[in-house]
Amino acid sequence: PKIWVLVPAAGTGSRMQSETPKQYLSLNGQPVLEHTLNVLLQTPQLAGVIVALGPEDERFGSLAVARDPRVQPIVGGRERADSVLAGLRYLAKRAASHDWVLVHDAARPCLTVSLLHSFCEKVASETEGGILAVPVADTLKWVEQSTIGRTVDRSHLWAAQTPQMFPLFTLTQALDAALTEGVPVTDEASAMEWAGHTVAVVPGAPGNIKITQPQDLALAALILRAQEE
């Protein structure tokens, strides 16, 4: 089966507090999205890359990677899940029924090709897909009214990353149903779990950060430099 890559890149980056949406900020001399797409273009069995953009995006066309014929921009939606569903709907008419879809945030430019490859290989042997995640490092407190209710056992707690990869048809059904039912879905796995599917977890990398807050850009620059060494 082939793998379609779907990249939600339609956010405004409100927590980043920058005029330019974070996916277009310069990272070691290249826009964040350019880094992300260049890694994703090395996905094995790649069928194509769908990039969900904001309705008024005027920046995508000036990326070098926009000229790659494997890359197809579409218009995203209000929330991240709406952008992903827009991509899945676009693919419904173009993909084969047994194809897979790999979803990866535009804002995670530090994914390495080697992690991408090992992730795809591991998840391909699962029937209902899987995600990258890392064990939570901090001590976790359940807080109510600014005081600690209790310390949460973190031995089973992992922080979800992307990529997340699933059979295209199964994810489309699950996400569509979850959004119709008003289920909160902050990643693809949430919809799959809610629909009763078994989602595998592949250990990710601490360096596969999502650029979220202003200081994350400098951190991502250091991580990319360290990867080059």
- Which residues make up the interface to ligand CTP (CB under 6 A)? 8-16, 23, 52, 76-80, 83, 105-107, 210, 212
Supply the minimum distance, in Å, between the C-beta of residue 44 and ligand CTP.
22
Do β-strands 46-53 and 26-27 pair in parallel, antiparallel, or remain unpaired? Answer: unpaired
Give exposure, 46-71, as e/b (b: 16+ Cβ within 10 Å). Answer: bbbbbbbbbeebebbeebebbeeeeb
> In whole angstroms, how close is the CB of 86 to ligand CTP at the nearest point?
9
Q: Choose between 108 and 197: whose C-beta lies nearer to ligand CTP.
A: 108
Give the residue from 80, 108, 103, 110 showing the smallest Cα distance to 7.
Answer: 103
Q: Closest separation between CB of residue 81 and ligand CTP, Å?
A: 8
Q: Phi and psi for 103 in degrees, rounded to 5?
A: -100, 130
Q: How far is the CB of 124 from ligand CTP (least distance, A)?
A: 24
Question: Whose Cβ is closer to ligand CTP: residue 124's or residue 205's?
Answer: 205
What backbone phi and psi angles, to 5 degrees, belong to 54? -65, 155
Which tokens belong to 37? 């797409």
Residue among 227, 216, 41, 23 at smallest CA distance from 107: 23
Nearer to ligand CTP, 6 or 148 (CB): 6
47 phi, psi to nearest 5 deg: -95, -35
Closer to ligand CTP by Cβ: residue 11 or 167:
11
Q: How far apart are CA 165 and CA 2, in angstroms?
A: 12
| Least distance CB 95 / ligand CTP (angstroms) | 19
Give the separation between CA 35 and CA 28, rounded to whole angstroms.
10
CA angle 180, 191, 80 (to 5 degrees): 75
Indicate the residue whose CB is closest to ligand CTP: 11
Of 79 and 176, the one with the shorter C-beta distance to ligand CTP is 79
CB 40 within 8 A of CB 110: no
Minimum Å distance from CB 62 to ligand CTP?
17
* Nearer to ligand CTP among residue 112 and residue 212 (C-beta): 212
Q: Which is nearer to ligand CTP, 2 or 210 (CB)?
A: 210
Q: How far is the CB of 23 from ligand CTP (least distance, A)?
A: 5
